[in-house]
Structure formats: C-alpha cells, structure tokens
Amino acid sequence: MKNPLIRTLFFTEIFKGMALTFKTLFKHPVTRRYPLVKVPAQPGFRGLHALAKDNTGRMKCVGCGLCGAYCPSQCIHIYTSEGEDHNKVVERYEVDILRCIFCGFCVEACPFGAITLSEHYEYANYTREDFYMTKEKLLANWDTYFEGEKGKRYFKEFWRPMSDDFKGNPEQAMFSKITRKERT
C-alpha cells in the first residue's frame, strides 16, 4: 500500500474515500427537523426578556436604572416619576429587542432580580413594534415563560437575584463560572 505505483494503479485512495461515504450512509443523520422537532434550550440560555413579579404579583423592578446603565447596546429605556408618598414609580420600562445583543449584563446588574432572560427564542414577527417590549409585554412574558416548576428552577439556578444571595451562586451561569475556570 505504501508503493505509490500500486496506489495509483489500484486507486486505493478513491476506494478508501468510497468506503468512508458508504459507512456514513448508515450513520444517523445530524439534521434537526426544527419546526417539527424542537430542541430544548440549553441551561442558562439567554432568550426573550421578562420582568419579574414577586409573590404578591407586583413588579420587582424599583427603577434604579442599573440595567440601562450597564447595557452595552443601550436598548433599555426607563422612565420614572415620583409617586404619592415620595416613592419612585416606574412608568415605562422598554427594551428594544432588535438592538439587544442578549449579553445578560442587565440580569447581572439588577440587585433585585427584576429583569430576566427566558428560554424562549421563537419570536419572529412582522412589524418592528412587535419587537419593542413595553412594560406590559415584559410582565406578560413573566407569566408566560416563568410559570410553573420549570421556570422556578430555571430562575433559581441561572438568574439568581443578588438581593437573595450577595455572594452569588457558584453555579451561576456567567461571571462566577468564568473566573473559577480562570483560577484553575
């Protein structure tokens, strides 16, 4: 087989290639038939935004504006006003999804775990307005994607609010994990 003359005469390389393609003929295809068979999002996936509600159903967001300050693409717009007993009222909380790069910095920044990223990734639509998330839409997203056990687990494991545990979860998706890797 080493002899180049024999290699040329009997096309050993062509036959090797043919054997390989024949083997792959019986392998399982890697194609995912996406609209028919949906692949579940990986743990820690950063999808569509949602504004968290607490147990009483009130919005957790206090309107501090840290998320908007952190946001690299500056797609979070917060408008607040002074309420009756001098507390801050979040009037508008808007995320321009078309500008968002889904870095998750807003979630990292939020001290109250008020903004979250869900596992939802299928939000194709026809108009730009559909991608401009208002406060009402973001709160509705919370009800849609963080309802039930799965959402609770997801929220606890990956977007744990800093107000609950200021040390940060060692299994938290973003910075803590990366720094731990760098140390070793």
Tell me how far, at minimum, the Cβ of 17 lies from other proteins, in Å: 5
CA 67 to chain centre: 16
Q: Pick from 1, 25, 39, 124 the residue near other proteins by CB under 8 A.
A: 25
CA 179 to chain centre: 20
Alpha carbon distance 18, 12 (integer Å):
10
The mark string for 27-66 relative to other proteins (x by CB under 8 A, - otherwise) is xxxxx-x---------------------------------
Contacts of 105 (CB under 8 A, 6+ apart): 67, 70, 71, 72
Cα 166 to Cα 12, 85, 157, 158, 160: the distances in Å are: 65, 29, 14, 14, 10
> Please, which residue, 21 or 56, has the CB nearer to other proteins?
21
Q: Pick from 6, 7, 12, 24 the residue near other proteins by CB under 8 A.
A: 24
Would you count residue 6 as binding other proteins (CB under 8 A)? no
> Please, which residue, 26 or 126, has the CB nearer to other proteins?
26
Would you count residue 4 as binding other proteins (CB under 8 A)? no
- 151 in Cβ contact with 47 (< 8 Å): no
Alpha carbon distance 80, 71 (integer Å):
18
Q: Which residue has the tokens 């028919």?
A: 36
Tell me how far, at minimum, the Cβ of 9 lies from other proteins, in Å: 11
Tell me how far, at minimum, the Cβ of 123 lies from other proteins, in Å: 24
Tell me how far, at minimum, the Cβ of 7 lies from other proteins, in Å: 15
Would you count residue 21 as binding other proteins (CB under 8 A)? yes
Residues contributing to the site for other proteins (CB under 8 A): 14, 17-18, 20-22, 24-31, 33
